[in-house]
Chain A
Amino acid sequence: MTTASAPVLEIRDLSVSFPTETGTVSAVDGVSLDLAAGEIVGMVGESGCGKSVTAMSIAGLLPGSARVTGSVRLDGTQLVGARESALRRVRGREIAYIFQEPMTSLNPVLTVGRQIGEVLQVHERMSRRAARARAVELLTLVGIPSAAQRVDNYPHQLSGGMRQRVMIAMAVACGPKVLVADEPTTALDVTVQAGILQVLRDLRDRLGTSVLIITHDLGVIADIADRVVVMYAGRVVERAPVDDLFAHPRHRYTAGLLSASPQPGRHAGTDRLTEIPGLVPVLASQPDACTFADRCPAADEQCRAAAPPLEDVGGTDHVAACWHPCLTAPTAAQEANR
């Protein structure tokens, strides 16, 4: 759970925009977020909400054309605007990433042992032999059976779940403080997903790694996150401890997402899923208005005239950016669960 110590990762007012042929596209607008040591924060939202762009901008992984403003501090070190050479020392060592599709992130012509070892040889200046031995340890850590043999496998010899475990082993090779996992289980089957989520939880428990996990799957969030950040059209619209968010969503978008997902016990014969009409907008500039207003059942003049600030909406550490937040009445999903 949340600790009182200073955050490992501190994002303040982060904005990202991209110039395109048809004008500027604003992808992220004024995102602020803290990640405490040993904390797992889930970031949720639909495609196009700016989740991945936020994640990539943390360690400066966006293409050079991206315009990034604001502040990202990792253990006090400013990363926005840092020199490439400084970022290279941070990446892999202080902050590491895993992505959705492990096969496209792994090199098909190198054994997994070589790939994990490479990280150690570069960052820790280990010898090739020592790196290989450490690779076996790391593969064991992420739950790969008979790691001493698997270390000589090529990626194509492994299943999808094994490959994702290899990615995690590579990511944690240098003991990073922060692990960013962008849809790490989306391409995997549920039985495999359960194992990967377990590995991430273990790493947090054993190594104290902080994890920022990005997903569109509310089940994954409910399973693993301590706190949740909901993004919509580039902005954080709600942030809360996981129990509070699911029990009392205050932003209308969060409430919509929760009651749109099928839940245990719901059947079409007796129940209807709530639809959110319309689409996530692509914005050239961030208007001084609520960007969800056009899809919101509660929107009025105020919502179109001024952007709602992220404000305390009761509960501990629960903020939402909405002029007309939902009352803390049970949601449709909760009604169905009873």
Chain B
Amino acid sequence: MTPQPNALEIADLVMHFGPVRAVDGVSLTIPRGRVTALVGESGSGKSTVGRCVVRLVEPTAGTVRIAGTDVTHLSRRRLRPHRGAVSIVFQDPAASLDPRMLVGEIVAEPLRLAGKRISRRERDARVAPQLERVGLRAEVARRYPHELSGGQRQRVSIARALISEPMLLIADEPTSALDVSVQASVLNLLADLQRDIGFACLFITHDLSAVEYLADDIAVMYLGQLVETGSRERIFARPAHPYTQALLSAAPVADPVRQRHRQPVLLGDDLPSALDPPSGCRFRTRCPLAFDRCATEVPAQTAIGDGMAACHLVRPDGTGPDVRTADPSEVLS
């Protein structure tokens, strides 16, 4: 017996849109039943990784394996049998649900696309438990999306994504368009479903507090590349890469007493262009600790526990300076 394949294996993924180097060599593995958060700022390429995985776009280079099957360049027809293994939930449920379809038709559509011919009665019988699972009443199947609230619509998207019993769920900013109280219910729902059903999840977001709540592992992306990966506990307790450190220091915590003692690392506003990324380390133009070598040499990935950090200043034992406390002049001497 061969060991069970991972839910997702991405190797050296490259996605260029003309001259725009959106994703430039990303490797990432998600074992079955784990939640990996992919975090980064807008323009870092994190959503493009998700779109490559569900093959909304065909990668320029590299491989994407879902449950052991290489889906990188499969034709639409050859891809169809594997479509059920991976689903995606988008940020804005108003834009990702067809306004002319009934909720019941929306939720059942993955079954229709999989080529299963089912009667209306059978469809209703399949849809009802899905709606119930996401906390909606079965009657909602006969409503249109515009009759529902934002939170309910996102529940419909989740029901649609899970009806094919996927091994992997891509959740691309699933709570970013929702209000705080609704966000809480959707995060709770995703956590419950993930625990009960056991699907693996690539959770794409910029919201670090949601990441800490939901993720097992974290991958940090900057300008098309991963700069750090590791367990949630390790990354939040001991972030190794200066960018991860800056990101964590910049997100304000909802506690004024603690927040007053935190000092954000200010990086400057300009994310360099993905048309012409900086030489060497891509973060060097905003990094408070950058030195000569950063401009000339691409940093290798230093292994830390079961993850890595790509920075010249991270030592082989995984330790290194912290931009939140370090004085740049001392680091380099």
User: Which residues from chain A sit less than 8 Å from chain B, CB to CB?
Assistant: 46-47, 145, 159-162, 165, 189-195, 197-198, 216-223, 225, 242-243, 246-247, 256-258, 260-268, 271-276, 279, 333, 337
The answer for the CA separation of A127 and B21 in the assembled complex, in Å, is 45
Verify B267–A268 contact, CB threshold 8 A. Answer: no
Verify B213–A260 contact, CB threshold 8 A. Answer: no
Verify B212–A262 contact, CB threshold 8 A. Answer: yes
**How many residues of chain B are within 8 Å of chain A by beta carbon?**
44
CB distance from B271 to the nearest CB of A (A): 7
- Residue B279 lies at the interface, judged by CB distance under 8 Å to chain A: no
Verify B41–A194 contact, CB threshold 8 A. Answer: no
User: Which residues from chain B sit less than 8 Å from chain A, CB to CB?
Assistant: 41-42, 149, 179-181, 183-185, 187-188, 191, 194-195, 206-210, 212-214, 232, 236, 246-247, 249-257, 259, 264-271
A225: nearest chain-B partner, CB-CB: B256
CB distance from A211 to the nearest CB of B (A): 16
The answer for the CA separation of A337 and B264 in the assembled complex, in Å, is 20
Set A195, A243, A246, A273: member contacting B254, Cβ < 8 A:
A246
Evaluate whether A260 and B184 lie within 8 angstroms (CB atoms) in the complex, with A161-B269, A194-B250, A195-B266 already known.
yes
Verify B256–A243 contact, CB threshold 8 A. Answer: yes
Evaluate whether A191 and B256 lie within 8 angstroms (CB atoms) in the complex, with A159-B269, A275-B188 already known.
no
Verify A191–B181 contact, CB threshold 8 A. Answer: no
Evaluate whether A219 and B184 lie within 8 angstroms (CB atoms) in the complex, with A47-B179, A279-B149 already known.
no
Set A190, A222, A260, A267: member contacting B180, Cβ < 8 A:
A260
The answer for the CA separation of A222 and B271 in the assembled complex, in Å, is 26
The answer for the CA separation of A219 and B212 in the assembled complex, in Å, is 15
Chain A residues with CB below 8 A from B212, complex form: 262, 264-267
CB distance from A252 to the nearest CB of B (A): 12
The answer for the CA separation of A52 and B137 in the assembled complex, in Å, is 34
Verify A264–B183 contact, CB threshold 8 A. Answer: no
> From DSSP, what is the main secondary structure of chain A's interface residues?
helix
Set A47, A221, A273: member contacting B213, Cβ < 8 A:
A273
Chain A residues with CB below 8 A from B195, complex form: 268
Set A162, A219, A243, A260: member contacting B252, Cβ < 8 A:
A219
The answer for the CA separation of A46 and B178 in the assembled complex, in Å, is 9
Verify A266–B269 contact, CB threshold 8 A. Answer: no
The answer for the CA separation of A99 and B201 in the assembled complex, in Å, is 35
CB distance from B40 to the nearest CB of A (A): 9
The answer for the CA separation of A293 and B333 in the assembled complex, in Å, is 62
B271: nearest chain-A partner, CB-CB: A159
Sample (22) of A-B pairs whose CB atoms are under 8 Å apart:
A46-B180, A189-B41, A189-B206, A190-B208, A190-B252, A192-B269, A216-B180, A217-B252, A219-B251, A219-B253, A221-B256, A223-B256, A246-B254, A260-B183, A261-B183, A262-B213, A263-B254, A266-B212, A267-B232, A268-B188, A273-B184, A275-B184
The answer for the CA separation of A70 and B270 in the assembled complex, in Å, is 44
Verify A162–B41 contact, CB threshold 8 A. Answer: no
Evaluate whether A263 and B266 lie within 8 angstroms (CB atoms) in the complex, with A46-B181, A190-B251 already known.
no
Verify A222–B253 contact, CB threshold 8 A. Answer: yes
The winner among A246, A256, A264 for most chain B CB atoms within 10 A is A264
Verify A261–B250 contact, CB threshold 8 A. Answer: no
Set B181, B247, B252: member contacting A275, Cβ < 8 A:
B181
CB distance from A81 to the nearest CB of B (A): 33
Chain B residues with CB below 8 A from A216, complex form: 179-180
